[in-house]
Structure 1
Amino acid sequence: MARKSKLFSLYIFIFFVIIFGLNNHHLGYSDYYNMDFENYYTAYLSSANQISPRNMEIGFKIVMYISNLLGLSLNSFRFIIGLFGFSLIFITIKKYSSYPNYVLSLYLIYPFINDVIQIRNFIAASIVIFSIRYLLEDKKGNLLKYALFVFLASLFHISSLFYLVLILVKYLKTRHFLNLILIVLPTLIILAYTSFYPFLVSRITSNQKVLMYLSRRTTWGLIIVYGTIFMMFGVHYILNREAKKSLIGENKLRPGIDEGSLVDKMTFYDILLRINTLILLLSLPLLIYDFNYIRLYRNILPLNYIVYVDAIMYRRIPAMSHKYFILIFISLSILFVMFYGLNASEQIFPVFNDNMLWGS
């Protein structure tokens, strides 16, 4: 069946890499326009004879420089990056999901388009997603491994350092997070209207782009963004709870299910809920400065989709599965329309229309 077919997974993987690697929007032949493609093209060209002087993370500048030394075009560079990033995402999804193709289909709806456009964030996000295993498995040295992977991700996008705080999920129980939201969140939001965060971040990094994000504040659009992130969290909370119930129910119906696998799944659900809660807690104050910080939550959505699919597939009552499907469909439709549909000429068409295989 398509939901588990390895061949279908391969088709999806190839499709993702083709869309990512063979995109030629940067050549300027298109009727559409997205500035990010042009900026990456300019940065890549500036790395032909030196490490790019542009204001980008050192890891990304080094790999661009090496790629140029090897005589690779931007598309060859993008193709390799696509192979690397999607491999990390695919490996992680296959490890924790019994229905990887369904999970990948949700990822295609959102935020795949963002990942095609924002190369540095894509590399960083794929590394962070892969590293989550070290928070899930209680083995010696895993927290150090997780921290090292996050540091590696930060060499491609500095915002990845944010994910170091996820180490707290190993020490705080799920019930503690409600207290954090009620007590700590108001304080964090109040501090966002002072100079505390810019001062703190300036002591950690001198990256001007990061500091620029903290030099301004959003306006009424914040209400929409807050509504969006609370919607994403709410959907995950509901489906996480139902996936647990459904998994236990399936275990009772089919006693042959390995107990170790059941425990691993329950641990995955618990840790992921804590991760979602912690990111929600800490990203809300940052969104006051810039809407781009929604990427901190967006980056973990492929992991959340594992829970979404489990909630549907483990449920033995068809009517409930249909309700969960409708919930997922509505929430993803809202995300797709908000972030892509309303700006299709800059998001959808440059990604899917402009390609070496079928574009201009």
Structure 2
Amino acid sequence: MIRQTLSPDRRVFLAGATALAGASVFGAVQAAEGDLNLFVGTYSSDAAKGIYPLIYTSATDSWTLGAALPAIENVSFGAYSPVSQHYYLLNEKDEGRIGIYDKAWNKTYEVSSQGASPCYAALDQSGGYLAVANYSSGNVVVYKIGAEGGLEQPPANRQNAGSGPNKARQEGPHAHWVQFHGDYIYSVDLGTDQVLGYSFDATTGAVGQAFEAYHAPGGAGPRHLIFHKDGVHAYLVTELSNTVIVLKAAKDGRFEATQTITTLPEGFKGESFCAHIALNAAGDRLYASNRGHNSIAVFSVAADGRLEPIQVSPTLGNWPRFFAVYEDHKRLVVAHQNSNDLVIFEIKSDGTLAPKDQKIAVSTPVFIGVSA
């Protein structure tokens, strides 16, 4: 049975969120050892100026939000390579760009994403290759990272084709997620209801042609996927059908579905769209966010990979596009794109969520990353 967590009657305030002035704020705001040193990506507008530093101080259970780096635009996603010691930040626009920044947030390079609306980036295990999913153009590109942190040209470029039954959202391919996994790169295409696989040779950087690793039910609109540490199971969250599909891996790199479960509470009839998905380190709790219902569904994960719903927690904001799990600090941070805030939750010992009465004002937050 799903337990519906009730939203407490409470005042909304900024909990330990301090707006700092000054161009060098990223150098001035630093996390102490054992604290969280984060950054928040936003869609640029008159209110949202770029990326913002965010520090969590565990000793005082407080959060400090710094002033923006306004030169960095539309950061829909980002990745940091400890090998090259550079950030790779996606500028989600029609002519997609990848901004490359050193540890001090100095821009060192900028290249084309070779597509439109880049929305997800991932590094391989060696930190030597970067993969990017371009949503609007429906292609995935893979770059070799050069000795000085730049992206070597030309990248491998894999263009998908096709459409789905939802004519409003699936008129063409929409690559929404990409990740390296073993000897493969996988991407999720919302527009064609597919998980695609590509062979990958980490020694040479060779990327194979696409094969269909899994085809979701028509109109499901898969968005993100996460692999379980057991090496056998993966979990696919579907934006348009509000479900998590449990997948079991085969030796040929393909998957078969073993379970499909809703992320919404029984009886809900409104409009909602899934967004992000995450597993805890133990692999026994899974989280998925619902935009519209504005909640995070929490599931227990059995040894055979099956999911059991244990909570649907209101996120106390509007449109939870992204969230980040910080188990060492027992915290989960939700980024609400439409209510312009971050909301903090405590992760209880059973993996369920409890609101912390901490809300931080940030305009159109869409991503949270870890700073070097």
TM-based fold match above 0.5: no
Using structure 2 for the length normalisation, give the TM-score.
0.26
Using structure 1 for the length normalisation, give the TM-score.
0.26
Structure with the bigger RCO (C-alpha within 8 Å, sep 6+) is: 1
Structure 1 or 2: larger helix share? Answer: 1
